[in-house]
C-alpha cells in the first residue's frame, strides 16, 4: 500500500489549464503532445510590438479584417497530473453565437476566402499519459506561460520546484515521432555525451 508521502508526491500539482495567447497570434505547438496545435487568441489589439516605441503593429493586410473580427478565444490545454489526464478544449465548440459572428466577419472581409459551411470549433480531445510525459508536459505548459505565449485560465500555475518533485523523469525529446539514437530522458544526456567522447563520437 502506498505511503502517505508517496500519495502526496503524486498529487502535489493540482489540476490547472492554460489558454494559448501568443502576442503575435501564432499557433502553439505542444512538444509533449505530438500533433497538438493550439490556436491562439485572435484580437484586433494584438500584433508585433515595435522594438523602439513598444507600439503594437498589425500587418497592413490583416488590419482591416481584424477590425471587423470579434475576439476569438484561444484553445485551452488542461491537465490533472494526479490522474495523468489531459484535455484540449476549444471554447468555440459550444459557442454557436460567436461562431456565427466570426463567420459573418470573415465573409464581410474582402481578403478572406468565403466559407459556405457552418463555422465550428475544434472538438474536445482527451487522453491519458504516462508519468514521464505528464511531468514533461506540465513543465512545458509553465514555460509557455512564463514566455508570455499563454495565460493560466484555470487553477494555479505550479512552481518549477514543485514540478520537479512529480513522479517520473523529464523526456529529452518529447516531440519526436521517430526512433532516435539519443537517450530517452534528460538526466541521461551527460552520460551519453561522455560515452561518445570516450569512444571518439
Band of pLDDT at residue 164, cut at 50, 70 and 90: very high
Q: Give the Cα separation of 99 and 184 in Å (integer).
A: 42
Asked if pLDDT for residue 174 goes beyond 80, the answer is yes
- Close Cβ partners of 137 (under 8 Å, ≥ 6 residues apart): 30, 32, 33, 79, 86, 129, 174
Note the pLDDT tens digit of each residue in 46-94. Answer: 755 555 665 655 554 454 456 778 999 999 999 999 999 999 999 999 9
Asked if pLDDT for residue 7 goes beyond 80, the answer is no
Band of pLDDT at residue 195, cut at 50, 70 and 90: confident
Q: Which pLDDT score, from 0 to 100, does residue 2 have?
A: 46
Q: Which pLDDT score, from 0 to 100, does residue 132 have?
A: 96
pLDDT, mean over the chain:
84
Section 33-46 average pLDDT:
91
Give the residue among 122, 138, 146 at the shortest CA–CA distance from 170: 138
Instruction: Supply the pTM of this predicted model.
Output: 0.81
Asked if pLDDT for residue 11 goes beyond 60, the answer is no
Asked if pLDDT for residue 119 goes beyond 60, the answer is yes
Query: Are residues 18 and 41 in contact, defined by beta-carbon separation less than 8 angstroms?
Result: no
Amino acid at each position: 500500500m502506498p505511503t502517505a508521502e508517496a500519495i502526496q508526491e503524486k498529487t502535489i500539482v493540482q489540476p490547472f489549464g492554460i489558454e494559448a495567447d501568443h502576442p503575435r497570434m501564432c499557433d502553439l505547438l505542444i512538444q509533449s503532445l505530438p500533433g497538438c496545435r493550439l490556436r491562439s487568441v485572435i484580437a484586433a489589439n494584438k500584433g508585433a510590438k515595435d522594438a523602439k516605441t513598444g507600439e503594437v503593429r498589425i500587418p497592413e493586410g490583416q488590419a482591416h479584417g481584424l477590425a471587423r473580427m470579434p475576439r476569438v478565444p484561444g484553445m485551452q490545454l488542461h491537465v490533472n497530473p494526479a490522474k495523468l489526464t489531459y484535455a484540449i478544449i476549444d471554447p468555440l465548440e459550444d459557442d454557436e453565437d460567436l461562431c456565427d459572428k466570426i463567420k459573418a466577419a470573415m465573409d464581410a472581409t474582402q481578403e478572406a476566402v468565403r466559407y459556405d459551411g457552418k463555422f465550428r470549433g475544434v472538438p474536445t480531445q482527451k487522453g491519458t499519459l504516462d508519468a514521464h510525459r505528464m511531468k514533461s508536459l506540465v513543465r512545458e505548459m509553465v514555460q509557455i506561460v512564463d514566455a508570455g505565449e499563454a495565460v493560466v485560465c484555470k487553477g494555479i500555475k505550479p512552481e518549477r520546484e514543485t514540478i520537479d518533485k512529480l513522479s517520473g523523469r523529464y523526456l529529452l525529446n518529447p516531440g519526436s515521432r521517430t526512433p532516435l539514437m539519443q537517450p530517452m530522458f534528460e538526466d541521461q544526456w551527460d552520460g551519453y555525451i561522455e560515452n561518445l567522447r570516450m569512444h571518439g563520437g
